[in-house]
Amino acid sequence: MQLKMDAAALQAFLAQDFGQVAADFAVERADAAGVVLRMRVAERHLRPGGTVSGPSIFALADVAMYLAILSRIGPVALTVTTNCAIDFLRKPAAGQDLRGEARVLKLGRSLAVGDVLVFSDGMADPVARASLTYSIPPSARAGS
């Protein structure tokens, strides 16, 4: 499989199109197996007590999966999340970064589906898992 965007291209895409949140994320790997995305956990991602908030974990899963899809179809505008099912499994370690490992399970003409495991640095077991569906606009897939 030939990727249309590698880790550097995905990082550049984030910086250009998601200026607000791009600094939170670092693309660690992008290959045939999927994308590994690091979230630099900061004060604004925390809930009282120091744990990472649910919306922040959701954001990591969503961005990781989105980039895994773009790595295969290229920087297609208007690809949007239509569905997510997420399980919160364990409390992340305090003050540690999170890592989302996304894999694509289906890349159809109009729908893409994949899942993500979220890990907290220093913990062996995942802190969350998510499955997500994206709608891909018709024109975008014409040449693929």
Closest CA to 70 of 1, 5, 142: 5
DSSP 41-58: --GGGBPTTSPBPHHHHH
- For the CB of residue 104, give the shortest distance to its own copies in the complex, in Å: 10
Closest CA to 58 of 22, 32, 83, 31: 83
Name which of 108 and 143 has its Cβ closer to its own copies: 108
CA-atom Rg of the chain in angstroms: 15
d(C-alpha 20, C-alpha 105), whole Å: 29
- For the CB of residue 62, give the shortest distance to its own copies in the complex, in Å: 5
Q: Which residue has the tokens 């996304």?
A: 102
Name which of 53 and 144 has its Cβ closer to its own copies: 53
Q: Which residues bind its own copies (CB under 8 A)?
A: 17-20, 44, 46-48, 53-56, 58-59, 62, 80-90, 105-106, 110-111, 113, 115, 117, 125-126, 129, 131, 133, 135
- For the CB of residue 63, give the shortest distance to its own copies in the complex, in Å: 9
- For the CB of residue 98, give the shortest distance to its own copies in the complex, in Å: 13
